[in-house]
Amino acid sequence: MMTLAESLASSERIVFLTGAGVSVPSGIPDYRSKNGLYTGRENPEYLLSATCLRNEPDKFYAFVRDNMYYPDAEPNAIHEKMAEIERRAGKKVTVVTQNIDGLHEKAGSRNVVEFHGSLYRCHCQKCGMTVRSEQYLESDKHENCGGIIRPEVVLYEENLPEEAINGALAAITKADLIVIVGTSFKVSPFCNLTDYRKSGSTVFAVNQELLRLPFQYTMIQDDAVSIFKEL
């Protein structure tokens, strides 16, 4: 059986499926671990719901502003190595990420499907105007029309953008190699993407927590930063 490095070298079409664990080494907390964003909070899913944004926008804004933005965070070895692999001649690489922090793009990855959107794209819900995230962090009220600004992330109760689903499936269905990194791979529909892999594709999972997937794959239960540094 080939190693991850050998599979990356021999594959022409590669998809990385990444989750919160990829950004933890950059200082961005995940959601449900012991020190995660949800720890010690009552009903955190509500605070990130469409209902909260609609009915209690001040509460939604305070939670997002104070707990989710890390504009000074820098890509780590995982982001950087994925971007490097994409730059290699003849490689078609797509990153499909659950993360909303923009670090894959910051590292230089060009072909990124942001499955749950991005904190760094914002717009006014009243007039539709695009708003810089820096402006949103100063106020959620649009200075032009007084409308409520929101980041373009998928909230609880909202549907995924069709563009994100189509982009992810287009990459998955053609991939020779799929590498799952830094995710428990339990959140649907992200965890269902591998159902659409083509016959004969190879799947690796790199994660500190053991994944149990209903198909043949190679599990690397280790620190992803160490694994990617060695590639």
Establish how many alpha carbons lie within 13 A of residue 180's alpha carbon, considering only the half-sphere containing its beta carbon: 26
Nearest by Cα to 64 from 190, 184, 151: 151
Q: Which entry of 79, 104, 116, 123 is annotated as an active-site residue?
A: 116
Nearest by Cα to 189 from 113, 92, 102: 113
Known binder of ligand: residue 124?
Answer: yes
Known binder of ligand: residue 52?
Answer: no
Is 104 annotated in the active site?
no
**Cα(219)–Cα(209) distance, rounded to whole angstroms?**
10
Find the radius of gyration of the CA atoms of the chain. 18
Known binder of ligand: residue 191?
Answer: no
Nearest by Cα to 4 from 81, 109, 61: 81
**Cα(122)–Cα(60) distance, rounded to whole angstroms?**
14
Contacts 24+ apart (CB under 8 A), 151-154: 151/64, 151/100, 151/117, 151/118, 151/119, 151/120, 151/121, 151/122, 152/117, 152/118, 152/121, 152/122, 152/123, 153/100, 153/116, 153/117, 153/118, 153/119, 154/115, 154/116, 154/117
Known binder of ligand: residue 145?
Answer: yes
Nearest by Cα to 72 from 134, 135, 155: 134
**Which residues does the annotation place in the binding site for Zn(2+)?**
124, 127, 142, 145
* Catalytic residue positions, numbered: 116
**Which residues does the annotation place in the binding site?**
124, 127, 142, 145
